[in-house]
Amino acid sequence: MEVEVCAHTIASALTAQQAGVQRIELCSAIGVGGLTPSYGMMEQVRRQLRIPVHVLIRPRMGDFNYTNDEFASMVSDIALCRNMGFEGVVFGVLTKDNKIDQVRTRQLLHAAQGMKCTFHRAVDWVDDPVEAVSVLEDLGVDIVLSSGGAPTAIQGMGTLERMQLKTTSLTVMPGSGIAPDHVMQFKSAGFNAIHLSGIVPELVLETPPKVPLISPNLLVEQYQYDTSVEKIRQVCEVLRKL
């Protein structure tokens, strides 16, 4: 069974490699489900790691229905990863009603030709993840990362097993909340890969920061957080009147 570790720092990627995993999913901002890492981070990981690395292609937090500009950035990021020699990419695109966006998935697969392609946990937002597996297999996706539509993979085990029975060539990779004592359950169920972060919090500041920079009110997945034209105009108007 392959173990893929979701690494959101260079240190995490190196630690996972040292621990003996078979593959890294590289991302940033793991607290919001992961975003595309920076070029600098990718460059360091590419230089220092010997095991395969699949890079997350996700331009922002929240839903998986992207604007044309956001989608164009995903295509560009895939091209960058391809040119840097990464083995794979990880992405997920849905329509407004949370169905697999087949047109855009085909476009991303085309952009990633020659690389392994994982459709990530956006699949857990669709009404029927089992049927979605058939759609993704027909499209040519290599791996589907899923919790079976549940908060954790253990809770979604039944759905994950049905997803696996639905495919002949695609790898269904359970992920979310997997701990060491879960491994044999997934192995016994016939899964060939699992996905986890293995994160343990480490205290690095003895006291809380003077000014917290994390804004919980900007982390609600039901919303998108974009600049308001009106607010910026108001600021510019105040300055013009001075």
From the list 114, 178, 133, the residue with the least C-alpha distance to 152 is: 178
Predicted local distance difference test score (pLDDT) of residue 163: 97
pTM here is 0.94
Domains and CATH numbers, the chain: 2-199 (3.20.20.380)
CB 105 within 8 A of CB 138: no
Predicted local distance difference test score (pLDDT) of residue 242: 85
CB 57 within 8 A of CB 86: no
pLDDT per position as a tens digit, 159-209? 999 999 999 999 999 999 999 999 999 999 999 999 999 999 999 999 999
**pLDDT beneath 70, residues of the chain:** none
pLDDT per position as a tens digit, 223-236? 999 999 999 999 99
CB 13 within 8 A of CB 49: yes
Tell me, what DSSP letter sits at residue 9?
A: S
DSSP string, 39-51: HHHHHHHHHH--S
